[in-house]
């Protein structure tokens, strides 16, 4: 660890230009020289332990974070103190946009595992974004993707479907997101969150999550062992997520 060469590699890896997440993150589409500006601003490589918080509800909006390793959950505390999980964040995804509206955080971000993040001071980010068109575009794109993920989750919750269908859709989405990071077509991954977290995210009881996992397994869609998920058949997973509406195909009436 104290080998100077290792340290150099570390230093190199810290740079946005060397980051494996570059294409998912703010640098995408930013020219090499502009990247230096972004680079110099990022307070990089903040490491947090499991269950640590990046920020709390009510905190001033100082920075956004991008997960580099590990995973996070975003928890909104309602006026009555009940906690709702509104999002999970894996490497390459942005955290902290909930503060853009009011200038102060409305949720808190909690590490699900040991993790590290890039901390990006928001004032500086927007200032540079104003001067670097590519960065401004990319910032808005990253925000847009965050909105899209939120919409997908909302759709999953509002669609009146069974528990195992919701879980299937959740797992399907997670698989796609992990593939963006890994770059390969792996069909196995480890859940960073507990059943309880999944339950509060999907709006059901944790016992129901367990039963839904069990059902997906007996249906030969996945193999589940603790937090290890192995997707046996991705098409089956997609089908499990979107039950075919018998009625649509059972009506052989031609357009009259």
Partner DNA sequence: CGGAGACTTGAAAGCCTTCAAGACGTGTGG
Partner DNA sequence: CCACACGTCTTGAAGGCTTTCAAGTCTCCG
- Binding residues vs DNA (CB under 7 A): 160, 162-164, 194-196, 203-211, 213-214, 224, 226-227
Exposed e or buried b per residue across 56-83, where buried means at least 16 C-beta atoms within 10 angstroms of its C-beta: ebebebebbbbbbebbbbbbbeeeeeee
The only residue of 133, 196, 220, 228 in contact with a copy of itself, by rule CB under 8 A = 133
Give least dist CB 157 to DNA, A: 11
Residue 54: what are its φ and ψ, rounded to 5°?
-80, -35
Angle between helices 122-131 and 32-41 (to 10 degrees): 160
Q: Which part of the chain contacts a copy of itself (CB under 8 A), choosing from 13-21, 30-38, 214-222, 241-249? A: 241-249
CB of 19 or CB of 85, closer to a copy of itself: 85
CB of 12 or CB of 100, closer to a copy of itself: 100
Residue 111: what are its φ and ψ, rounded to 5°?
-70, 135
Kindly state the number of chain residues that form the binding site for a copy of itself, as judged by CB under 8 A.
50
The only residue of 11, 12, 150, 223 in contact with a copy of itself, by rule CB under 8 A = 150
CB of 119 or CB of 197, closer to a copy of itself: 197
User: Which positions from 170 through 189 interact with a copy of itself, judged by CB under 8 A?
Assistant: none
Assign residue 59 a region (left: φ > 0; alpha: ψ between -120 and 50; beta: otherwise). beta
Q: Does 202 bind a copy of itself (CB under 8 A)?
A: yes
Q: Which two tokens stand for residue 14?
A: 């810290």
Give least dist CB 162 to a copy of itself, A: 13
Residue 217: Cβ-neighbour burial (10 angstroms; 0-12, 13-18, 19+): middle
């Amino acid at each position: 660890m104290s080998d100077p060469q290792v340290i150099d590699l570390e230093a190199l890896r810290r740079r946005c230009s060397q980051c494996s997440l570059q294409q998912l993150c703010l640098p995408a589409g930013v020219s090499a020289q502009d990247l230096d500006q972004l680079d110099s601003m990022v307070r990089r490589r903040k490491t947090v332990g499991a269950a640590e918080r990046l920020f709390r509800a009510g905190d001033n909006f100082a920075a956004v974070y991008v997960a580099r390793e590990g995973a996070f959950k975003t928890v909104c505390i309602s006026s009555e103190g009940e906690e709702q999980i509104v999002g999970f964040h894996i490497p390459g995804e942005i955290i902290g946009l909930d503060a853009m509206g009011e200038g102060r955080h409305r949720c808190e971000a909690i590490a699900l595992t040991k993790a590290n993040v890039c901390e990006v001071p928001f004032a500086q980010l927007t200032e540079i974004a104003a001067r670097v068109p590519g960065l401004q575009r990319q910032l808005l794109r990253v925000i847009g993707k965050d909105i899209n993920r939120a919409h997908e989750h909302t759709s999953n919750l509002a669609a009146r479907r069974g528990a195992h269908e919701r879980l299937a859709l959740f797992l399907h989405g997670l698989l796609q997101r992990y593939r963006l990071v890994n770059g390969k077509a792996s069909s196995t991954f480890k859940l960073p969150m507990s059943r309880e977290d999944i339950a509060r995210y999907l709006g059901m009881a944790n016992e129901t999550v367990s039963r839904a996992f069990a059902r997906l397994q007996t249906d030969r869609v996945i193999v589940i062992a603790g937090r290890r998920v192995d997707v046996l058949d991705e098409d089956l997973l997609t089908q499990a997520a979107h039950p075919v509406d018998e009625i649509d195909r059972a009506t052989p009436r031609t357009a009259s």
